[in-house]
Structure 1
C-alpha cells in the first residue's frame, strides 16, 4: 500500500472516530466497553489454555 494512501486512510478513520464520539458519546462508550470485554476475555482464555498445558 502506498504511504500516502495509508496516511490518508488513517486520517479518514481518525476523523470518523471523532465524529462518531461527538455525535453519539453513549453509543461510542458502549462500543469501547464491549471491545474491552472481548480483549480481556481473550487474554483470560489464553491464560486458561496455557495453565491447562502445564497441569
Structure 2
C-alpha cells in the first residue's frame, strides 16, 4: 500500500472515531467494552487451552 494512501486512511479512521465518540459517547463506550470483553475472552481461552495441554 502506498504511504500516502495509508496516511489518508489512518486520518479518515481517526476522524470517524472522534465523530462517533462525540455524537454518541455511550454507544462508543459500549463498543469499547464489547471489544475489550472479546479480547480478554480470547486470551482466557488461549490460557485454558494451553493449561489443558500441560495436564
Q: Same fold (TM over 0.5)?
A: yes
Structural mapping, 1:3-42, within 5 Å: 3-42=3-42
Q: 1:14: how far off?
A: 0.2
Q: TM-score, normalised by structure 2?
A: 0.99
Q: 1:19: how far off?
A: 0.2
Q: CA RMSD in A?
A: 0.2
Stretches of structure 1 lacking an aligned partner (at least 5 in a row): none
Which structure 1 residue ranges, 4+ long, deviate > 3 Å from structure 2? none
Q: How many residues align?
A: 55
Q: 1:50: how far off?
A: 0.3
Q: TM-score, normalised by structure 1?
A: 0.99
